[in-house]
Amino acid sequence: MKKIVTFGEIMLRLSPPGFKRFSQTYSFDVVYGGGESNVAVTLSNYGMSSTFVSRIPNNDIGECAIMELRKRGVNTNQILRGGERLGIYFLETGAVSRGSKVVYDRAYSGMATIEKGMVDWDEVFKDADWFHWTGITPALSQGAADACLEAIQAANRLGVTVSTDLNYRKKLWKYGKEPGEVMPDLVAGCDVILGNEEDAEKHFGLHPEGIDVTQGDTVDGQAYLSVLKQLQTMFPRAKKVITTLRGSISASHNSWTGVMYDGETLYEAPSYEITHIVDRVGGGDSFMGGLIYGLLTYDDDQKALDFAVAASCLKHTIKGDANLVTVEEVEKLMSGDASGRVSR
């Protein structure tokens, strides 16, 4: 069984019920999730061995977050206990022409106050096949960025494949460093890079060449090829560079696909029309989890990409951060069965 390690912050997500605005609600629905923990849950659902590394406060709320991971089969033995609090984010779910809104409350969380040297990475990566991190973690603090670089360097030294989802978050870079000062050293150690045009621009100043990536309410996969080539030139270790492509017709209706470039071939996945979005949070994480599964399972890059896109399409039908689907459900959609019939 393949072993995947992810490193990042799991948070308490508080959302008004249904599509209520913050100003309308007197209660919040509780979900636990975060970029890297979502990937760990996805891979556990697919039958892989996933280990989540983080720093979580030693209190009842921290224990609830760990219990949620354990319930989904994620190995939590490498989680450190410490820090003042669990990070929180508030989500107001949009609909039709009103977009969703996120408010972060994660200063001084366990992960925000992690430091280099706290994690024994040689122990964590024992028998590991893959390590995944996202651009959210180094945005939290200098300590989190240092710990992330330490993890990447250890994985490189031990021969563990490293992937990243660049995940630019404007609201998080608050500790005095710009992304361009931090991210290049981290991404240089990555074998697989996922990012969209905003990630490439905000982190590295890269732009699509010669064409607008958006064509009305759709997206043009070929237009992203120049960005993918630029990323691979900047980070020559990367064997595969990928982007998800989202066409936003409204908050409730998106088109969804992805492309992958391996230095020679541009792979393009089928496009899905997601006409009644239940929850789009975690869409990129579900794609990354599906891609890792596909690359480790199939001897076929096109099939791996197709699996990732189908998996993330299904995530949009599931409430919460994590993608709670099975391999069989993803492969059913890949085969063309999008009927949604009752399984009896």
Structural domain total, the chain: 1
CA atoms within 13 A on the CB side of 219: 25
**pLDDT > 90 fraction of the chain, expressed in percent and rounded:** 76
* 288 vs 282: CA distance, rounded Å: 10
Q: 342 in a domain, yes or no?
A: no
- Please tell me the predicted confidence (pLDDT) of residue 309: 96
Per the structure, the complete domain to which residue 231 belongs is given by 3-333
> Residue 13 pairs with which residues in a beta bridge?
31, 89
Q: Is residue 85 classed as helix, strand or coil in its secondary structure? A: strand
pLDDT tens digits for range 143-153: 999 999 999 99
Flag whether pLDDT at 216 surpasses 50.
no
Q: 338 in a domain, yes or no?
A: no
Average pLDDT over residues 14-23: 93
141 vs 79, 83, 147, CA distance in Å? Answer: 18, 13, 10
pLDDT tens digits for range 261-298: 999 999 999 999 988 989 888 889 999 999 999 999 99
Q: Which tokens in the block code for residue 179?
A: 């992304």
- Residues in Cβ contact with 124 at an 8 Å cutoff, skipping those fewer than 6 apart: 5, 51, 53, 78, 151
Flag whether pLDDT at 299 surpasses 80.
yes
Q: 186 in a domain, yes or no?
A: yes
- Please tell me the predicted confidence (pLDDT) of residue 237: 97
Q: Is residue 126 classed as helix, strand or coil in its secondary structure? A: coil
Average pLDDT over residues 292-318: 96
pLDDT tens digits for range 82-141: 999 999 999 998 889 998 999 999 989 999 999 999 999 999 999 999 999 999 999 999
C-alpha angle 21-95-68 in degrees, rounded to nearest 5:
70
Closest listed residue to residue 138, CA positions, set 185, 189, 83, 79: 185
Closest listed residue to residue 286, CA positions, set 92, 36, 76: 36
Average pLDDT over residues 239-258: 90
* 96 vs 36: CA distance, rounded Å: 29
Concatenated DSSP letters for 93-125? --BTTBPPEEEEE-TTBTTTT--TTSS-HHHHT
CA atoms within 13 A on the CB side of 277: 31
Q: 340 in a domain, yes or no?
A: no
Concatenated DSSP letters for 228-257? HHHHHHH-TT-SEEEEEEEEEEETTEEEEE
CATH number of the CATH domain containing 75: 3.40.1190.20
